Chains A and B, each alone.
Chain A
Amino acid sequence: MANVVVENLTRVFETKSRKVLALDKVSLEVRSGEVFGLLGPNGAGKTTLIRILTTLLLPTSGRALVGGYDVVKEAKKVRGIIGFSSSSERVGFDFVTARRNLWFFSQLYGLSTSIANRRIEELAALLEFQDQLDRKLYTLTTGYRQRLNIARALINDPLVVFFDEPTNGMDVFSAKKVRELFVKEAKINSRTMFLATHNMFEAEEICDRVAIIDKGRILAIDTPENLKSSLSKPVVLFETDVAGAQIDDPTQLEGVVGGTIRVDDENETAKIRVILRDEIFLEKILDILEKRRVRVYNYQILEPTLEDVFISQVGAGFAERERSVEV
């Protein structure tokens, strides 16, 4: 059963001077018990889509249903069955304990205090912060605050939970705990876990399916494995001296579909990662680099990642895209 249905959803932001197309005829479905990842660089439209699905924003056109309810016409019903968490929002009230904060949020959903208390204990146990429950919020470390934030999103036992960059800035241990919880909540409690992320590792590790989004358009939707295997082109990584940085745009190189360049100033090296139309272009690129007096220390053909899938579609990586996108 599809808990999230999006059909031709479009959102245009209008200011006095310009119009920004944030979502362009987006369509997708997410099933019950599925961990779904919306993967794209900042400014791709992930947050806009989540804001529409959580009833905070109206679409310009198209339709979206959450748990079978229309997000425009039945917003109140949608709000009762969803949870939401973003790494950027504040968790609660600083001078109030974690337990009391969670209780407060449970009241926004009309839970009885006994059910709320039981739920608080359960979630604290799942996210391993029981010993922090009676501490005031401002005394908690960032990692515990973020775990509390995830617990808050689940306090009302929601059918669909939306997470916007859930593990952004989280310590490795907390992020691992949270990812495990996402999978558990989807598989055991049949929740739909809808994640907007630009964390490739996260998307590959826990998502059943991933939608790659750029400039408001969905470029591809499939399992991470299928998306990667659909990329039949070779991915090559060249490790060069810092002169490699002079290649501003890898697509200018013959036979390159797209790529990224990362410069390591400290070690005076550069990593040029490219997707080639065909393996025959490898020799040609080595020749070009030599002519440009770029010293190649090493090169290797790699297994594609989800970012490579993105690069193959738009020609640039997340970081390059973020620099070029106006929000």
Chain B
Amino acid sequence: MRFSFTLWAKVVIARALIRVIAMYGDPLWILVNVGGPLLTSTALAFLYRFAGLPQFTGFAILGGGIAAYWGNVLWSMASQLSWDKRSGMLYLYITSPAPLTALLIGMSLGGILGTLPSSIAVLITGTLLFKPPFSPPTITLVLIFMLTLVALYGMGIALSSLYLFLSREAEEINEALYEPVSFLSGIYFPSIGRSSPLPIAIQAVAALIPLTIGMDSLRRTVFYAEGLSELWPNIALLAAMAVTSIYIGLKMLSYIERRGRETGDILVTLK
């Protein structure tokens, strides 16, 4: 039992470390993941300012900071096992004693740590440029931010298992998911609640996405200074979403491993 935990921890740390090193070893990654969200949020902030809504520029800046994570979850987390299958790396993982759960948790941890600097870079640059009216950081903000990330990466774990199971090209699913989820989750505008321009039925669908709840909670903390007493339903929902998506993802992964050994075509590309 002790050995199993040691192995699990070593795999988590190794996978997280490799993810961070690989991210910053690729100059193109830095350009896309820092430059992309920064440009989008700056463009939207300018738009809000020229539309006579300077108080909303903060939404765009905050959205840019979180968009980096959403991009990371989709392109580096959800797609990873599918890419690993294609390259043969998944074979190496399965035929080693390393638990796949540890590899996925390590990938998430590495993704969170690796994306942090680009997210901070977007927030600092945006704040310096537009000086949006932020409330001072609180414990509630930190809690919501962390829960949002856990829920988001939990979704990444579930998606990575799903991608593997669907046996579709990861790029195709990513392309299909990125814009609709970005829109519905309201990265750059409030997609749920009183200020949302969306019909209530669409808001209901949007609320099923952890990122939507996370963004709504972050906005309300940062711009409307709401605290734990107002946001506890959101926090509870985020926590439930995090636990559920991680549970589903890991269960699905264990099913896929079992089923893959039976059929032979889920874990490896048949020659």
**Does B18 sit within 8 A of A, measured CB to CB?**
yes
Q: CB-CB < 8 A to B88: which residues of A?
A: 86, 88-90
**Does A103 sit within 8 A of B, measured CB to CB?**
yes
Q: Mark A86-118, 1 if CB is under 8 A from B, else 0.
A: 101110111110001101110111100000000
- Do residues A96 and B22 form an inter-chain contact, with CB atoms below 8 A? yes
Q: Among A29-37, A74-82, A211-219, which stretch is in contact with chain B?
A: A74-82
Q: How many residues of B contact A (CB 8 A)?
A: 34
Q: A56-B261, A80-B97 are in contact. Are A93 and B22 (CB under 8 A)?
A: yes
Q: A103-B14, A107-B11, A110-B10 are in contact. Are A55 and B95 (CB under 8 A)?
A: yes
- Do residues A51 and B89 form an inter-chain contact, with CB atoms below 8 A? no
- Do residues A100 and B18 form an inter-chain contact, with CB atoms below 8 A? yes
**Does A57 sit within 8 A of B, measured CB to CB?**
yes
Q: How many residues of A contact B (CB 8 A)?
A: 37
Q: CB-CB < 8 A to B87: which residues of A?
A: 89-90
A227 to B260, CA, bound (A): 37
What distance in Å separates the Cβ of B46 from its nearest Cβ neighbour in chain A?
A: 34
8 Å CB contact of B93 from A42, A48, A108, A327: A108
Q: CB-CB < 8 A to B262: which residues of A?
A: 58
What distance in Å separates the Cβ of B82 from its nearest Cβ neighbour in chain A?
A: 14
**Does A132 sit within 8 A of B, measured CB to CB?**
no
- Do residues B98 and A108 form an inter-chain contact, with CB atoms below 8 A? yes
Closest to A92 in B: B89
Closest to A11 in B: B264
**Does B183 sit within 8 A of A, measured CB to CB?**
no
Q: CB-CB < 8 A to B94: which residues of A?
A: 55-56
A64 to B23, CA, bound (A): 41
A90 to B260, CA, bound (A): 20
- Do residues A110 and B3 form an inter-chain contact, with CB atoms below 8 A? yes
Closest to A85 in B: B92
Closest to B19 in A: A93
- Do residues A84 and B91 form an inter-chain contact, with CB atoms below 8 A? yes
**Does B236 sit within 8 A of A, measured CB to CB?**
no
Within 8 A of A (CB), among B38-79: none
A152 to B95, CA, bound (A): 13
Q: CB-CB < 8 A to B205: which residues of A?
A: none
Q: Which residues of A does B touch, CB under 8 Å?
A: 13, 42, 47-48, 51, 54-58, 76, 79-80, 82, 84, 86, 88-90, 92-96, 100-101, 103-105, 107-110, 136, 152, 156, 327
Q: Which residues of B does A touch, CB under 8 Å?
A: 3, 6-7, 10-11, 13-15, 17-18, 21-23, 25-26, 87-89, 91-98, 260-262, 264, 267-268, 270-271
Closest 9 CB pairs of A and B: A89-B88, A95-B25, A107-B14, A90-B87, A108-B98, A110-B7, A108-B96, A54-B95, A79-B97
Interchain residue pairs with CB less than 8 A apart (7): A56-B95, A56-B261, A88-B88, A89-B91, A101-B18, A107-B10, A110-B97
